[in-house]
Amino acid sequence: MSVNNPLAVLLADNRTLILDGAMATELEARGCDLTDPLWSAKVLIENPELIYQVHLDYFKAGAQCAITASYQATPQGFLRRGLDEPQSLALIAQSVHLAQQARADYLAQRSQRLPLLVAGSVGPYGAYLADGSEYRGDYHLPQAEMIAFHRPRITALANAGVDLLACETLPSFAELQALLALLKEFPALGGWFSFTLRDSQHLSDGTPLAVVMAELNDNPQVLAVGVNCIALENVTPALQQLAALSDKPLLVYPNSGEHYDAVSKTWHSCGNQQHHLINQLADWQHAGARLIGGCCRTTPADIQAIAERCQA
């Protein structure tokens, strides 16, 4: 069975595919308390309508791909809330249906010619641990256990009809290898692989990107590669390194340019206008980025600015 590549049409004619921005930031702005190990997945239980509204706002802003609110949605995480596996899988499927409904409602009001995509978020094991290790990659599981951790969520996302997977914020080479092995069980489904980095040449766990790309380049289920949830100043060097190592489409959705204070658990503006997404967009495109959006602290206004600049 051949791999479905829904990105191909959207990337034709050298177009840029506009991804959405932060989910959690928008949910917090709408009154949600996300100081919780489940993070935005908590809202799947408590107020899923808000997730639908955020997806709709990003489509209205110009996003062509919604990333589901399943980053920290796992049966293991939901079990801590007393939910059994069928209930957990239903919530993961609901994360897809909310994005699909927002897409349908948006398209019903517009004569949209290009397709809009729904990418199923597959966060790393470190996100489940909720200890910041998605930025270190210093956790270790045997491959069979790592595959068993990821299988139920990917199965639920696939059964709910995602267009592709967003294997994102990956800090660990061993976890990346486990996901590649697991994807063989879903031969028609592809996805992007997006990493956190120690520097422009290494994954967070220290693995050289040259080693990472040697693993990914020849795999037809890997539709794009890139970085997310990293500081703006690290984006262009990382893209340049990836462009030298791979012919895959490159993607980037970094944080807003604000800096996080781990002690006070607050974000602070850097005060430098160059450290805003829109001011680095041309550099990212020049470095080869084809899929561009935002991660932590970005908003529909940021995505609208990117979309308008790309259209212009």
Annotated binding site for Zn(2+): 229, 295-296
Question: What distance in Å separates the CA atoms of residue 288 and residue 251, rounded to the nearest whole number?
Answer: 8
Confirm if 151 and 181 have CB atoms less than 8 A apart.
Answer: no
CB 88 within 8 A of CB 72: no
Q: Binding site residues, as ranges? A: 229, 295-296
DSSP 124: -
What distances in angstroms separate CA 193 from CA 44, 65, 169, 175, 190, one per listed residue? 24, 15, 8, 11, 10
Strands 202-203 and 197-199: antiparallel
Task: For residue 29, give the nearest of 298, 253, 222, 312 by alpha carbon.
Answer: 298
Q: Which two tokens stand for residue 48?
A: 């899923």
Per the CB < 8 A criterion, the answer to whether 64 and 116 are in contact is yes
Q: What CA–CA distance (Å, rounded) separates 283 from 123?
A: 27
Residue 139 burial (CB count, 10 A) = 19
Q: Are 46 and 94 in contact (CB under 8 A)?
A: no
What's the rounded Cα separation, in Å, for the pair 114 and 59?
13
Q: 277 near 302, Cβ under 8 Å? A: yes
- Angle at alpha carbon of residue 58, lines to 40 and 196, rounded to 5°: 55
